[in-house]
Structure 1
Amino acid sequence: MRRDLTGYGLAPPRLAWPGGAKLAVSLVVNYEEGAEMAVEAGDPENERIGEVVSVVPPGRRDLGQEGIFAYGTRAGLGRFLDAFDRHGVKATWFMCGRAVERTPELARACVARGHEAANHGWVWRPHADYPSREAEEAGLLRATEAIAAATGERPVGFFCRGSASPWTRELLARHAYLYDSNAFDDDLPYWDRAVPGGPMLVLPYALDCNDMKFFHPNGFVLPQHFVDYAEAAIDQLIEEGERGVPKLLNIGLHLRICGRPARFRAVEGILRLLAARRDAVWVARRRDIAAAARAQLPA
């Protein structure tokens, strides 16, 4: 894989989002609960990132961390579905295969309400960890099948934790995925034409406007911090769209993080921001953003 440090350079495409919107916004909810590394699930170690850093010795079951994750599906998921219904928005849910296999009725409810199920890997791990194409392909297909079985919808988009492997996009193209989101390098969709069997449409994601920042020491502390950051991003990109180059903003959320009551105030605040700017903003599922991009960007 050769790095592309130029992209569109100084001549970005002027995409026309539906309704003349100056900005496309992708709300993403990460559905990982039950797919985190856990001795309970037969993994060799436990996930260590949570409300606090785990102090359980390696190799022992961590009931505390299990409970922190379980809160996401037990209590947080309902908050998200209710808020999205009240505000009339549709989101993309990055679903881990093992997570939805363990809670299929909840995953099914997300898609039944019009949201998109995208593939977030079999477990919550970097695909860069896979030692071979064959091993990664098995994990990719296992997750694809689990999501389709749970939701009734075959995923067409993909994003894994951290980093993809050098073969990920080749595998996505082989199995008819429409877009990959393992990219943090642009505000616009683009084609990766170097993919064997491709090209592959890339819908970049982002980690800055993301509630994981509540779990990082250099990130958000109060709900309003996240709202203010999102507002700055929204308004900056609307202004750029008004100057002729409409772009894409990603807002990343997690069931166990912003699903907590205090932090959910940030979600409510962001949804109100988007509602107040509805004439300028198109809030859409990633598969719909990908379809709009494919119609305008030559492959």
Structure 2
Amino acid sequence: MSSRRSFIRQSSILGIAGIMGNTRLKAAVGTDAHVRFKERTKWSDGSRLVISVSMQFEAGGQPDNSESPFPQNMQKGYIDLPAASWYEYGYKEGIPRMLDNWDKSGIKVTSHMVGSAVLKNPDLAREIVQRGHEAAAHGMNWATQYTMSYEEEKKFIKDGAEAIRKTTGFTPKGYNANWLRRGKNTLKILQELGFTYHIDDLSRDEPFVIQVDRKDFVVVPYTLRCNDIVLIAGSNFSTDQFFNQVKAEFDQLYAESEFKKRMMSISFHDRIGGSPQMVKTTAALLNYMQQQKGVVFKRKDEIARLALNDPHSIRE
């Protein structure tokens, strides 16, 4: 059975056939036209499939008794100390281990940083940037920003970004809301504050450009399907299940990328993705992906720039 793309192309040809002669039709859909068609679907830098890796830097910025693998049955007035130590693992062990893994694989990632976590662990935040990774904003703390007023939310976003800039010297250009739940004013605020993209969208498998106050703004889609907090912490996947889930996603997107611009997103959280078993599994995944021709890993700010400068980017 023909693919959807082949069906659309064949339907277009049949429509043209009623207007053009057979000789002219053959010329119009010949090899050269097919090559041009394929070239328009590629990334502007010649990449075949772009992979975007997120490393969430949240631990240390969480409120007391935040969600954790422990039962949510703490009595009022008491602090869940074991759960707090689970978060501590993120900045004591998780991120340092992941940073070494990224270096071994030769890739750069985007770290979405909570402002209060950065202030609590400034040396680690600086190390992330010094090792060539992108620092993106993730709010000042774990507050629910969609309930905030315009002024409150603007201060919340700005304070988080300033904590990153003053600590690392890196000015964030990307944003991620807590659990992706932005408010009705979020994009306008981000545009006003000089951000160029956000990730709180699951609607496509490639970046696209939207209009915010009649100006271009990029969406670099995020993922729940290839996300350790959903699969490992939330669904109790084994590392084998995680490997197979992400590999299946990659294989399908890689096949589609022969004829269509494709981006794959994978997300790791400091206290989850930085565990020994997950880092080992991730290394195996990265090795598998890097063996495929045309696969590249890019930071999200790089992806956003490519999308903005590509006249063939989807615009909504």
Same structural fold, with TM-score higher than 0.5 when normalized by the shorter chain: yes
Matching residue of 1:263: 278
Change (3 A) 1:143 1:211: same
Work out whether residues 15 and 296 of structure 1, in 8 Å CA contact, stay in contact via their aligned partners in 2: no
AA partner of residue 163 (structure 2)? A
Q: Please report how far the alpha carbon of residue 280 of structure 1 lies from its aligned counterpart in structure 2 after TM superposition.
A: 2.3
In structure 2, how many angstroms separate the alpha carbons of the residues matched to 1:124 and 1:265?
Answer: 29
Matching residue of 1:3: none
Matching residue of 1:294: 308
**1:208 is matched with which residue: 225, 228, 233?**
225
What RMSD over aligned residues (CA atoms) do the two structures have, in Å?
1.9
In structure 1, how many angstroms separate the alpha carbons of the residues matched to 2:97 and 2:251?
Answer: 26
Q: Please report how far the alpha carbon of residue 27 of structure 1 lies from its aligned counterpart in structure 2 after TM superposition.
A: 0.6
Q: After TM superposition, what 4+ stretches of structure 1 lie above 6 angstroms from structure 2?
A: none
Do residues 129 (structure 1) and 147 (structure 2) align?
A: yes
In structure 1, how many angstroms separate the alpha carbons of the residues matched to 2:150 and 2:40?
Answer: 36
In structure 1, how many angstroms separate the alpha carbons of the residues matched to 2:251 and 2:124?
Answer: 34
Q: Mind listing any 5+ residue stretches in structure 2 that lack a counterpart?
A: 1-7, 10-38
Change (3 A) 1:156 1:146: same
Matching residue of 2:61: 35
Instruction: Within 5 Å, give how 1:142-153 maps onto structure 2.
Output: 142-153=159-170
Q: Please report how far the alpha carbon of residue 62 of structure 1 lies from its aligned counterpart in structure 2 after TM superposition.
A: 2.0
Matching residue of 2:155: 138
Q: Mind listing any 5+ residue stretches in structure 1 that lack a counterpart?
A: 1-9, 39-45
Matching residue of 1:239: 255
Q: Please report how far the alpha carbon of residue 15 of structure 1 lies from its aligned counterpart in structure 2 after TM superposition.
A: 4.6
| Greater Cα offset, 50-59 or 225-234 | 50-59
Work out whether residues 43 and 261 of structure 2, in 8 Å CA contact, stay in contact via their aligned partners in 1: yes
Higher share of residues assigned helix: 2
Matching residue of 1:222: 238
In structure 2, how many angstroms separate the alpha carbons of the residues matched to 1:158 and 1:16?
Answer: 26
In structure 2, how many angstroms separate the alpha carbons of the residues matched to 1:177 and 1:288?
Answer: 13
Cα displacement string for residues 28-82 of structure 1 (whole angstroms, at most 9, x for unaligned residues): 00000111122xxxxxxx21x2222333223422211211000010011111111
In structure 1, how many angstroms separate the alpha carbons of the residues matched to 2:109 and 2:206?
Answer: 18
In structure 2, how many angstroms separate the alpha carbons of the residues matched to 1:62 and 1:176?
Answer: 38
Q: What count of residue pairs does the alignment treat as equivalent?
A: 275
In structure 1, how many angstroms separate the alpha carbons of the residues matched to 2:144 and 2:134?
Answer: 22
Q: Percent identity?
A: 29
Matching residue of 1:191: 209
AA partner of residue 221 (structure 1)? F
Cα displacement string for residues 72-97 of structure 1 (whole angstroms, at most 9, x for unaligned residues): 10011111111111110000001000
Structure with the greater alpha carbon radius of gyration: 2
Matching residue of 2:21: none
Work out whether residues 243 and 285 of structure 2, in 8 Å CA contact, stay in contact via their aligned partners in 1: yes
Work out whether residues 209 and 307 of structure 2, in 8 Å CA contact, stay in contact via their aligned partners in 1: no
Cα displacement string for residues 148-202 of structure 1 (whole angstroms, at most 9, x for unaligned residues): 0111101000011221000000000001101011111111212222x23633211
Matching residue of 1:103: 121
